[in-house]
Amino acid sequence: MGISLVQLIIILLIILLLFGAGKLPQVMSELGKGLKAFKSSLKDEDKKD
């Protein structure tokens, strides 16, 4: 169970409408940084156990 291709396309279109094409690379970059930090914190939490 995950996100299908159709759902991903719909989400990306909504983001494009909200932020516009000019800010989209900046928004995606910040989203990537946030996901990387989240994954890093999960790995750190696993190491503590």
Query: Is the separation of the CB atoms in 24 and 15 below 8 Å?
Result: yes
- pLDDT tens, residue by residue, 16-37: 888 887 887 887 899 899 989 9
Domains in the chain, number: 1
What residues contact residue 19 under an 8 Å CB cut-off, 6+ apart? 27
- pLDDT over 70 at 1, yes or no: no
pTM, two decimal places = 0.54
Domain around 5:
1-49
